[in-house]
Structure 1
């Protein structure tokens, strides 16, 4: 089963953007996410609508982060991406006539709702600033420096 990695990828790119300190093109981000620049522009439009990024056209243009990383939570980014399904599992049918399946659905729905609330609460508790600090700690420990233009070159 294929997992939806859009949130992970966007967080990855946003942290790179924060490091660069200048506008980053959709083409550069597409290389980092191993996708097409059109996909990046579609994703970034949701972040722009949420007020997290802006784009500049022309030479030297690209995408920049507009808010302090401490003011953006992982849940904020998840919501800006359209709040997709969190879990691949679900009920076989939503409105079953079978009483057994109704009992199964009731139990699963409660479990899914509890898990979703727990996950969303955790995403709300983590900011991009915390991810950036963790990245910096890892970079120092590794002795490496990161350059968005070259780190993901294939």
Structure 2
């Protein structure tokens, strides 16, 4: 089953950027994410189009967060990524002739729509600041355990 992990990757990248003093290059972000810098540039370009990040070229260039973390929700990021499907499940046939399959599709479509609406509503309640605060707490706990 193929998963679209761009939202998770974007959140990972943005939290690294929030902790970093100054711009981060696509190469540095690629190392953080374990991916190619070209993938980073393509994905971050979508966020730039949405006004969430900026980029500067040259020796001191890189990507910067352009907004306050408390104003950006997971839902906004999902939308900036082109609203990829949130579920890998789907109907066997979108336009079946079989009446049984039509009944199955009607039940599944309703359940999928309800589940997606609930998930997107939850995404709208979670901000980047919420994630940054959670990371800071986890990092402090980790440091305390290390002594």
Same fold (TM over 0.5): yes
Deviations 1:69-125 (A, max 9, x none): 000000111111111111111001111111000000000000000000000000000
Inter-partner Cα distance in structure 1 for 2:70 and 2:21: 16
Inter-partner Cα distance in structure 1 for 2:87 and 2:132: 26
Moved over 6 A (4+): none
State the TM-score, normalized to the length of structure 2.
Answer: 0.95
Shift, 1:6, TM fit? 1.2
Deviations 1:32-90 (A, max 9, x none): 11111111100011000111000011111100000000000001111111111111110
Inter-partner Cα distance in structure 2 for 1:4 and 1:32: 18
Asked whether 1:106 is paired with 2:144, we answer no
In structure 2, what is the equivalent of residue 49 of structure 1? 49
Asked whether 1:34 is paired with 2:34, we answer yes
Would the aligned equivalents of 2:24 and 2:61 in 1 still touch at CA under 8 Å?
yes
How many pairs were matched up?
Answer: 144
In structure 2, what is the equivalent of residue 62 of structure 1? 62
RMSD between aligned residues: 0.9
Inter-partner Cα distance in structure 2 for 1:21 and 1:93: 51
Is there any run of 5+ residues in structure 1 with no aligned partner, and where? Answer: 145-154
State the TM-score, normalized to the length of structure 1.
Answer: 0.91
In structure 1, what is the equivalent of residue 142 of structure 2? 142
Secondary structure of 1:136's counterpart equals helix
In structure 2, what is the equivalent of residue 24 of structure 1? 24
Is there any run of 5+ residues in structure 2 with no aligned partner, and where? Answer: none
Inter-partner Cα distance in structure 2 for 1:97 and 1:10: 41
